[in-house]
Amino acid sequence: MGLATCTGALLMSCSQPSAEATRLSDGAAHLSGGKGEGMVDPSAARTLDGLAQKAADTGSLGVIVRVGTGSGKALQTARQTAWTKADHHLAPGDQFRVGSNTKTLTATLVLQQVAEHRIGLDDTVDKWLPGAVRGGKDITVRMLLNHTSGLGDFFLTPQFLGSLTGQEERTWTPQELLAITPDQDPPTAPGEKYSYSNTNYVALGMILEKATGTGLARLIEQRITEPLGMKDSYLAKNADWTSDRHVTGYEPDAERLKAILAGVVDLPDGFGFAGPERPEGNVETSAIDPAWSWAEGGMVSTAQDWQRFLTALMSGELLPPAQMKEMRTTVDAPEEGGRYGLGLMRINTACGTVWGHTGGLPGYSSEIYTDTSGRRSVAVLTSTNFGIKEERAAAANKKLTQAAICLMLGKPQP
């Protein structure tokens, strides 16, 4: 596997739960839902808090966990390993780069346009972007949304790797990202099978702007963040943050990164992420410019804001029933350990089915889900991405995420 392919694939992976450490600030909270309604066992809250701190101290570095149970005050916690406090004291309301969770928002905007008869799910890409996408006459909007287009991923190209790691400062246009997108390897016909590709959502962002005559950032404000009161959420245009209250992100330094990827790809000595050195073989990555991630991963948000969006969506506030049904119509997505709809993942966990998405950017990893009704929600935001690929960190991260999901669903952890 090539260097760019390997590095990009691990960073964008949606299949491994990511989670980390924080502190439960609200103690017990009410659970809702028929016969299961009642109080969260305070011991369950303490257990989650302990798992969060253990994850932070085992490689996750910092984590925000927020559990909305459908009634009462949400459980929320923010835990971090000791040395990171010199950079920032983590809090549950801190802003965070939510990465590919943005795809759910982009898909919602597209389906709103479908409901208003401006875009058709069976429209071809060539109808909207003639000649911009190889094979666009055979690729539909639906295929872009559910990653069955057969398009490769610009994310995995040598030309893009410097921007991904922050070693090269470059402003990419959507058109340039489409132009460097490679063929899938092996080639796959449009509609044949699922294969996750950020390129699909670059094309969808361009289609949205053409169909509405409005820039994507403003469209998000008009249709999603302003109506829902998501005051801490916006589409990043550069590396700057709108608040001092943001999570500091980290990645392993070159030596650790080489060890993490050993056996998968032989990284050249010194290859790694740009940023100031930090203790225990880490690099701070908060200043890496994410503007390229745009419609496929550019949103900055908070746990509370994104849960507000996802519960509004899944409970039927943002889409008519016909479009919500389309969004929940899934294809097999073995890469993700579940199924994938239109910008939405369906995952069967030990405690029940959850819907949502995952996200990853340098220094930031996230999993945000709701139950089937959209009443309950959980967010686990982690301040490293490659750092939780190490075995002990991955295990602690997974255990925390599973516990948070079970608590959200009102089920005892298996």
Eight-state DSSP code of residue 124 = B
Q: Do 360 and 99 touch, CB atoms closer than 8 A?
A: yes
Structure tokens at 226: 């302003």
DSSP-derived pairing of the beta strands 364-370 and 96-97: unpaired
**CB burial readout 24-46, b (16+ within 10 A) else e:** bbbebbebbbeeeeeebeeebbe
Q: What is the DSSP string of 166-203?
A: TSS--PPPHHHHHHTPPBPSS---TTS-----THHHHH
At 159, which helix (H) or strand (E)?
A: helix 158-165
- pLDDT for 7 equals 56
Alpha carbon 164 to its chain centroid, in Å, reads 16
CB-side neighbour CA atoms (13 Å) of 101: 33
The letter for the amino acid at 284 is E
Could you tell me which of 14, 115, 16 has the C-alpha nearest to residue 388? 16
d(CA 142, CA 129): 15
Q: Which residues contact 50 (CB under 8 A, 6 or more apart)?
A: none
- pTM: predicted TM-score of the whole model, two decimal places: 0.92
d(CA 248, CA 282): 12
At 45, which helix (H) or strand (E)?
A: helix 42-55
Q: Which residues contact 127 (CB under 8 A, 6 or more apart)?
A: none
Residue labelled with tokens 């260097």? 3
Q: Which residues contact 116 (CB under 8 A, 6 or more apart)?
A: none
Structure tokens at 174: 């959507």
| pLDDT tens by residue, the chain, 414 residues | 444 444 555 555 443 433 332 233 333 332 233 333 335 667 878 899 999 999 999 999 999 999 999 888 899 999 999 999 999 999 999 999 999 999 999 999 999 999 999 999 999 999 999 999 999 999 999 999 999 999 999 987 889 989 999 999 899 999 999 999 998 988 999 999 999 999 999 999 999 999 999 999 999 999 999 999 999 999 999 999 999 999 999 999 999 999 998 877 778 888 899 999 999 999 999 999 999 999 999 999 999 999 999 999 999 999 999 999 999 999 999 988 899 999 999 999 999 999 999 999 999 999 999 999 999 999 999 999 999 999 999 999 999 999 999 999 999 887
Structure tokens at 109: 């905007």
d(CA 117, CA 210): 14
Alpha carbon 303 to its chain centroid, in Å, reads 12
d(CA 275, CA 166): 8
